[in-house]
Amino acid sequence: MSDGWSKLHDIDLWADARTEVDFAIPLKDFPRLLPQLSGDAGEASGRIRFGRQDGIAVADVSVDATVHLLCQRCLAPLDHSVRSRGRVAMVEEGAEAERVPVQLETILAPGHRLSILDLVEEELLLALPVVPLHEPSHCVDGTSAVATPSETEQHERQRPFERLGELFKR
């Protein structure tokens, strides 16, 4: 890993000092994100500001990136722009997570230690679409989300039970 983004840091020290960290991390360095991508070119950049809210260590994470996905309609490459901003509570265990206000995301930080890479990767994963799709007019094969069969296709269709009603009347 370049620049030590995967190095664990004491989140309490950073929260108490209100540390700000600027980052630029290559997409290929994110192990959980990589399987979701169609290519690993590019980087995620942004800033993390650490602090406290109600005694809990929090991080304001801002991430900008362009990730390369596959359109699930036409299976062609799709560049998805990520401009994500999130506030994350960093907790050591599940019991501590119960105190986190509902408007905050929660991430586990065993031993109150966490890496910048983990924070950024979590924000990127949350920003990905569930089903990546081009706009219907931009798909490579020109298909749309709702395909309607033409009149000739409707007439050519076989309807094996079409006359079943007539048989029951006999």
pLDDT, residue 144, reads 45
C-beta atoms surrounding 70 within 10 Å:
16
The answer to whether 106 and 91 have CB atoms below 8 angstroms apart is yes
Cα–Cα distance, 49 to 111 (Å, whole number):
20
Please report the sign of the dihedral spanned by the C-alpha atoms of residue 20, residue 21, residue 22, residue 27.
Answer: negative
* pLDDT at residue number 143: 47
Instruction: Supply φ then ψ for residue 51, to 5 degrees.
Output: -170, -160
What is the distance between the alpha carbons of residues 134 and 75, in angstroms, rounded to a whole number?
10
Rounded Cα–Cα distance for residues 103 and 152 (Å): 54
Give the residue ranges of the chain where pLDDT is below 70.
1-3, 140-156
Give exposure, 43-56, as e/b (b: 16+ Cβ within 10 Å): ebebebbbbeeeeb
Query: pLDDT value at position 145?
Result: 43
Structure tokens at 15: 């929260």
So what's the pLDDT on residue 99? Answer: 86
